[in-house]
Amino acid sequence: MSDPRTNERIRVPEVRLVGPAGEQIGVVPIQTALRLAQEADLDLVEVAPNSKPPVVKIMDYGKFKYEAAQKAKEARRNQANTILKEVRFRLKIEGHDYTTKLKRAEGFLKGGDKVKAMILFRGREQSRPDQGVRLLRKFAEDVAEFGVVESNPTIDGRNMVMVIAPLKNKSEAKAEQNAQRVAHKQAARQARADAHADDSSTTTDSAE
């Protein structure tokens, strides 16, 4: 994707100008827009070249480029760190086995990873794909607090597969886990302090 035109490279007679705080200034001659950008010691950047007239914004272009690069870098890192975890079912799965698989999938999704839910068909079970779809949809509903269906149930050889993506990406999940860890430590510290205070109070009462 090419860089947008900036400052004197914007060669049109008039533009729709947006101020540095996002305020709509309106349609003005390009010379006026350039003058206002110079007075603010900022750049004039074309943000919607195909509009009639083109939309330009007064901004710090260097800072804008840096922030955009950082966001793209973070998005690539999150994408690279997302792992596809697999959870396998039988069509006739026992209740406790289902609960175990469900908890495992929730753990993966909380950690920011995708879950590939797979039903393994045996023999004649392949002739009952509707039951597989029902089971996978129930599974999707049960993990809806942590993930959303990315690809609906599809037949893959002797199996049926559905992919669920996490609601939080890897970095968000890690930050949340760290915050919870800190909160738990603080709560434990407070509980110990309260217990110590109770012990001290009991000792004082006994002495009296």
The contacts of residue 26 (CB under 8 Å, 6+ apart) are 16, 17
In one letter, which amino acid is 110? K
Confidence of residue 147 (pLDDT cuts 50, 70, 90): confident
- Contact in structure between 56 and 15 (CB atoms under 8 Å): yes
Q: Which residues, listed in sequence order, are joined to residue 166 by a DSSP beta bridge?
A: 147
Please, are residues 59 and 43 in contact by the beta-carbon 8 Å criterion?
yes
What residue type is assigned to position 94 of the chain? E
User: How many residues are recorded in the chain?
Assistant: 208
The pLDDT score that the predictor gives to residue 196 is 67
Nearest to 91 by CA among 130, 124, 123, 135: 135
* Rounded alpha-carbon distances, angstroms, from residue 12 to 29, 73, 104, 191, 200: 9, 33, 59, 68, 80
Q: Are 93 and 136 in contact (CB under 8 A)?
A: no
pLDDT category at 121 given cuts 50, 70, 90 is: confident
Lookup: tokens for 103: 């908890």
11-15: long-range pairs with CB below 8 Å, 24+: 12/53, 12/54, 13/53, 14/53, 15/46, 15/53, 15/54, 15/55, 15/56
Domains in the chain (CATH in brackets) are 7-61 (3.10.20.80), 81-166 (3.30.110.10)
pTM attached to this predicted model? 0.46
Position 179, amino acid: A
Give the residue from 161, 163, 165 showing the smallest Cα distance to 146. Answer: 165
Q: What is the pLDDT of residues 2-60, one digit of tens each?
A: 688 999 999 999 999 999 988 999 999 999 999 999 999 999 999 888 888 999 999 99
> pLDDT tens for residues 160-206?
899 998 887 655 656 666 666 766 777 777 777 777 666 655 555 55
Residue 143 CA to residue 161 CA, distance in Å, equals 16
| Cα(155)–Cα(119) distance, integer angstroms | 9
Angle between helices 95-110 and 129-142 (to 10 degrees): 50
